[in-house]
Amino acid sequence: MLGGMQSHEMRVTDILDHAAREATTREIVTYWADGCLQRSNWGEVGSMARQLASKLTQIGWNKADRVGTLAMNHLHHLVTYYGAAGAGGVVHTVNPRLSAEHIIYIVNHAEDRVFFFDAMFRPIIDALKEHMPCVEHFVCFDSDCGGDYMSFAEFIADGDAEFDWVTGSERDPCGLCYTSGTTGNPKGVLYEHRSNVIHAMSLCMPDVFDINARSVMLPIVPIFHANGWGAPYGCAMAGCGMVLSASNDPKVLWKLIREEGVTHSAGVPTVWLGLFGEMDASGGDYGDLRYVVIGGSAAPRAMIERLTQAGIEVGHAWGMTETSPIGTIGARPANWDAMSYEERIDLIQKQGRIPYGVQLRVVDEDGVVQPRDGKSSGHLQIKGVWIVQRYFKAEEDSLTDDGWFDTGDIAVIHPDGVMQITDRDKDIIKSGGEWISSIDLENTVVGCPGVAEAAAIGVPHPKWDERPMLFVVCKADATLTADDITSYLTDKIAKWWMPDEIRFVPELPHTATGKILKRALREQLRVEREGA
Amino acid sequence: MLGGMQSHEMRVTDILDHAAREATTREIVTYWADGCLQRSNWGEVGSMARQLASKLTQIGWNKADRVGTLAMNHLHHLVTYYGAAGAGGVVHTVNPRLSAEHIIYIVNHAEDRVFFFDAMFRPIIDALKEHMPCVEHFVCFDSDCGGDYMSFAEFIADGDAEFDWVTGSERDPCGLCYTSGTTGNPKGVLYEHRSNVIHAMSLCMPDVFDINARSVMLPIVPIFHANGWGAPYGCAMAGCGMVLSASNDPKVLWKLIREEGVTHSAGVPTVWLGLFGEMDASGGDYGDLRYVVIGGSAAPRAMIERLTQAGIEVGHAWGMTETSPIGTIGARPANWDAMSYEERIDLIQKQGRIPYGVQLRVVDEDGVVQPRDGKSSGHLQIKGVWIVQRYFKAEEDSLTDDGWFDTGDIAVIHPDGVMQITDRDKDIIKSGGEWISSIDLENTVVGCPGVAEAAAIGVPHPKWDERPMLFVVCKADATLTADDITSYLTDKIAKWWMPDEIRFVPELPHTATGKILKRALREQLRVEREGA
């Protein structure tokens, strides 16, 4: 050995230890589903997580065994992230909005041995538990959910708060999250200690989540989504305060933001629409809020404008379960001060820049890398330390021959390095050898007064291969005709993008994560044409 | 394999690739020693570093071979950091202020094969090169330094700007820096790709250097010091602008700060004294400067106050060559907003909080860990990914039995996690079984009107083991007596801390890094008493 630096495996439990030591009394506030407000802190999270890890060890935990959760955001869910990892195991967050069929599939595929759930989801557990023979212990996160269920507090009560974490390699798994995929069975992404630590370091950076010891983060995104967007790890690393709400009631969230001094928040666009409604009704201000990360789906321009005008920085982010999830984020570029208001909003509306740690490229149908000219769209591919290589229990890697993960998104990269999603590859409409972006079409239609929501899909066409068809949901008080839509679109889109058919519907089908389920629309059309 | 994330070795060349790709045109400004201003950018740094790596490969570079440098801060020095690493080698920065004897020792111990130097240091090379038989190529960083020396531009001219980096393990070495140790031969610290990448991620964080794409960093600290304080890596990771000055003339630095939009700077305290002098003379303002990292030695209170009052955040940092170098930094704590001005200055004057990635502890003479009570002082020990394990070519590790590196500092840790250095362990004065902090004593004496600098050392005493003796340098226009000093000290220190002897001297000896060389004072006393 020539000499060198110390050898340490980077484990997520080190992050919690850091928070428990250096930010011991920094508050973790929980608004429980029953309306109780609980004040804890990183020191207590550390002790409780050790109790849980100790308890799991007592019941014979093996390396990489899974703890399932069906839960909203709260102290006990956060503790489970670390307690499972600290026993050498894996926290497996299940999305409660999935179908019963998917939940059963996922829990059995993951082979969860212990399963924690919120009292509000007890009906799901009551109904499905007989189909989950792998689960040895069903435990309720809340203090009292009736039935024979043990509570989380009781479960960890005889665990040792000074327990020594199970150690191991930084490449060991510590988290599992299934994609709510629109086709086929859900696929599990297995996060590692190393990938989560490096991802958390990125998250803290000024051009990503920008969190530090003075920040108070309210992750409105459920932490059962996509690795909790990394917040459970990043916040501990920064030693910041956290506010966790088991309720997504805008009234509750708004009160928490203002009364708990929330400076940072992260969530999907629909959450902000709810908060705006609450704000309009109550007339309150934003309190200490200064930075909002919006991801999950594209943020509407009006939302970005409203927040920006209120002096709040918007970090428009793109990512997916397979990317831990940060892929890009719309951090302010070097020339921000020189940009006009319109240029800034235009920029934020795109998906943002590529942080250190990942690489992105756009390739055409033949796999040829496209230039960063803002025009050449193609398949968006990604690589990096926190990007999936192989789905859980899969037989082979999910990478291209040269090691990239294909995201299933269609995108362009602009000369300034800003990435812009133009569509999902399965939603792009291929007409006469050209591509029509269903997202662009929908975004344009949504600008039409009276339109609440819209979905564009490609329908088979003998001459053009596919032609666009539009489903439109009108606002409650609006009456629109197809002519109103086409007149509105006429000078806003290329002529050949004009939908061949426009259909008004009372509502659109959505996935468990709130995305429009275009597969259901296509299936509906198929049945209409071909019969079931 | 259960599944998992991608495998990537973290190499410092990835950081440069990131900057060259995502911050291509972000400026790297160099003020050369001849007064020329050169504007380059991360894209060009990438190309030049590849040319250098290619050239080294052409001359038969082996893994971990060393490139020595004797240079100030400029574009070519920055390029060398990455070019050496990209050839699979190691950049070895030599401090030009070291004695000829030490430079010869270090270059031979490091076995530097190629040696780059600034024209201003040509006299050193001319005089010493015959004692450096390992060096195959002496190359001048500047374009023309006379003699038979090839210039850096000529040297890399036939290197390939598209060269593929030499790849390898993230545990491979990429940097080497010798401590300017006050005793014995200098010892080399061998930085690794992994340690530098993780250290750079920490550096970017809001509570460390807080750098992002909009920042412009002027590292006033010479990048030959202590791994360049990580700035060559951290700045590339953030994709920020850099201003590099081969001159330390305060007039030049001040002009650069204001004309190049410098937002961040980092340097030792003496630099800021020079800049204040320049500012007082010129009456200029601080331009866009908003964050200043001060390290290397403790920042005087008046300096912290002056910067703070000007609205500039001061990050008072502690670290050493062995710690890459960040050990602690005085980032604002959670309760900053609630603190009074005096509390804030008191806090900043200490050495700061412990960032994620390192752990600190204080142990007594018997190795017992001391409480974080702000009172129990002892030996400061550190561990983490970017902390030395074994010095270059050493036969054994430099760690305690349980894996900690002893820093040689004496410190306390306060209940809020803030660390405070109270002395160097070899400088602490042990009197009657109690410790007298030489630093506290000196800092108090320096507050006495007319005192420019002071050094306290322990001298052997038959009854008390050691007693303090004070060396004082007066300001140019001041006349002081020992009585003046003792009267000043009377109500400011414990009675038994009062020096037994006070000696006025015209100047104090200093190390190459500007610290008082107490060893020379002790040796002088020994000679006086015992003869040579």
3-state SS string for B186-217: CCEEEEEHHHHHHHHHHHHCCCCCCCCCCCEE
| Record: contact B207-A192, CB cut-off 8 A | no
Answer yes or no: is pLDDT of A1 > 80. no
User: What is the residue whose two structure tokens read 């149908």?
Assistant: A365
pLDDT in tens, B359-373: 999 999 899 999 999
Q: How far apart are CA A393 and CA A173, in angstroms?
A: 12
Is the alpha carbon torsion for B239, B245, B249, B253 positive or negative?
negative
Interface of B with A in 382-421 (CB under 8 A): 383-394, 399, 403, 405, 417
| Record: contact B392-A3, CB cut-off 8 A | yes
**Which among B317, B165, B154 has a CA at the least distance from the CA of B234?**
B317
pLDDT number for residue B273:
83
**Angle subtended by helix axes A75-86 and A231-238, to nearest 10:** 90
Ranges assigned E (strand) in B19-65:
27-31, 37-41
Q: How far apart are CA A28 and CA A45, in angstroms?
A: 8
Catalytic residue among B322, B328, B386, B422: B322
| Confidence label for A183 from pLDDT (cuts 50, 70 and 90) | low
**Which among A325, A426, A390 has a CA at the least distance from the CA of A187?**
A390
Catalytic residue among A63, A430, A475, A492: A430
| Record: contact B385-A10, CB cut-off 8 A | yes
Nearest CA in chain A to B336: A214
Rounded to an integer, the average pLDDT of B474-503 is: 91
The verdict on A333 touching B (C-beta cutoff 8 Å) is yes
pLDDT number for residue A381:
98
If one counts every other C-beta atom within 10 angstroms of the C-beta of residue B34, the result is 12
Rounded to an integer, the average pLDDT of A453-470 is: 91
| Record: contact A212-B207, CB cut-off 8 A | yes
Contact residues on chain B for A5, CB-CB shorter than 8 A: 190-192, 194-195, 324, 385-389
Q: Which amino acid is at B455?
A: A
- Across the strands, what pairs with B243? B29
Contact residues on chain A for B190, CB-CB shorter than 8 A: 2-5
* Contact (Cβ atoms closer than 8 angstroms) between residue B292 and residue B265: yes
Which site among B356, B360, B395, B396 would you substitute to test the A interface, given the most A Cβ atoms closer than 10 Å to its Cβ? Answer: B356
What are the residue ranges of helices labelled H in A223-262?
231-238, 250-259
pLDDT number for residue B147:
84
Q: Is residue B430 flagged as an active site residue?
A: yes
Catalytic residue among A305, A313, A435, A511: A435
C-alpha angle A220-A226-A227 in degrees, rounded to nearest 5: 90
pLDDT number for residue B399:
97
The verdict on B64 touching A (C-beta cutoff 8 Å) is yes
Ranges assigned E (strand) in A32-136:
37-41, 66-70, 90-93, 114-117
Contact residues on chain A for B6, CB-CB shorter than 8 A: 383-385, 387-389, 399, 403, 405
Q: How far apart are CA A151 and CA A165, in angstroms?
A: 23
Q: How far apart are CA A374 and CA A465, in angstroms?
A: 26
**Which among B433, B434, B445 has a CA at the least distance from the CA of B469?**
B445
| Residue B370 DSSP code | P
pLDDT in tens, A377-393: 999 999 999 999 999 99
| Confidence label for B217 from pLDDT (cuts 50, 70 and 90) | very high
User: What is the residue whose two structure tokens read 């990537």?
Assistant: B8
pLDDT number for residue A105:
96
Is the alpha carbon torsion for B256, B258, B261, B263 positive or negative?
positive
pLDDT number for residue B272:
87
pLDDT number for residue B277:
86
**Which among B256, B265, B253 has a CA at the least distance from the CA of B209?**
B265
pLDDT number for residue B53:
98
If one counts every other C-beta atom within 10 angstroms of the C-beta of residue A69, the result is 26
Is the alpha carbon torsion for A333, A339, A343, A349 positive or negative?
positive
The verdict on A226 touching B (C-beta cutoff 8 Å) is no
| Record: contact A213-B207, CB cut-off 8 A | yes
| Record: contact B405-A6, CB cut-off 8 A | yes
Answer yes or no: is pLDDT of B181 > 70. no
* Contact (Cβ atoms closer than 8 angstroms) between residue B213 and residue A333: yes
Percent of chain B with pLDDT over 90: 79
Kindly report the nearest CA distance between residue A479 and chain B, in angstroms: 47
Q: How far apart are CA A57 and CA A34, in angstroms?
A: 31
| Record: contact A173-B3, CB cut-off 8 A | yes
pLDDT in tens, B228-258: 999 999 999 999 999 999 999 999 999 999 9
pLDDT number for residue A181:
59
Q: How far apart are CA B519 and CA B504, in angstroms?
A: 18
| Record: contact B6-A392, CB cut-off 8 A | no
3-state secondary structure of B144: coil
Q: Which residues does A416 contact at the CB level (< 8 Å), separation at least 6?
A: A333, A353
| Confidence label for B511 from pLDDT (cuts 50, 70 and 90) | confident
Lowest mean pLDDT among A13-17, A137-141, A459-463, B166-170: A459-463
Rounded to an integer, the average pLDDT of A246-271 is: 94
Q: Which amino acid is at A289?
A: L
Rounded to an integer, the average pLDDT of B487-492 is: 92
**Which among B254, B417, B286, B432 has a CA at the least distance from the CA of B351?**
B417
Token pair of A166 as six digits = 């199970």
| Record: contact B6-A388, CB cut-off 8 A | yes
Q: How far apart are CA B463 and CA B460, in angstroms?
A: 9
Q: Round the average pLDDT of chain A to a whole number and report it.
A: 94
* Contact (Cβ atoms closer than 8 angstroms) between residue B13 and residue B165: yes
So what's the ipTM on this one? Answer: 0.91
Token pair of A197 as six digits = 């630590």
Interface of B with A in 337-366 (CB under 8 A): 337, 353-354, 356, 359
Contact residues on chain B for A239, CB-CB shorter than 8 A: 334, 356
Contact residues on chain A for B356, CB-CB shorter than 8 A: 15, 18, 201, 204, 237-239
* Contact (Cβ atoms closer than 8 angstroms) between residue B456 and residue B438: yes
Lowest mean pLDDT among A388-392, B61-65, B277-281: B277-281
Nearest CA in chain A to B176: A4
Q: Which amino acid is at A300?
A: P
Interface of A with B in 74-93 (CB under 8 A): none
| Record: contact A190-B5, CB cut-off 8 A | yes
C-alpha angle A422-A227-A154 in degrees, rounded to nearest 5: 155
**Angle subtended by helix axes B231-238 and B12-22, to nearest 10:** 40
Contact residues on chain A for B403, CB-CB shorter than 8 A: 6
3-state secondary structure of B116: strand
Ranges assigned E (strand) in A118-270:
137-140, 150-151, 173-178, 188-192, 216-219, 241-245, 264-267
Q: What is the distance between the terminal CA atoms of chain B, rounded to a whole angstrom?
A: 70
- Residue B93: its H or E element: strand B90-93
Rounded to an integer, the average pLDDT of B370-387 is: 97
- Across the strands, what pairs with B384? B358
pLDDT number for residue B182:
56
pLDDT number for residue B183:
61
What are the residue ranges of helices labelled H in A447-497?
482-490
If one counts every other C-beta atom within 10 angstroms of the C-beta of residue B80, the result is 29
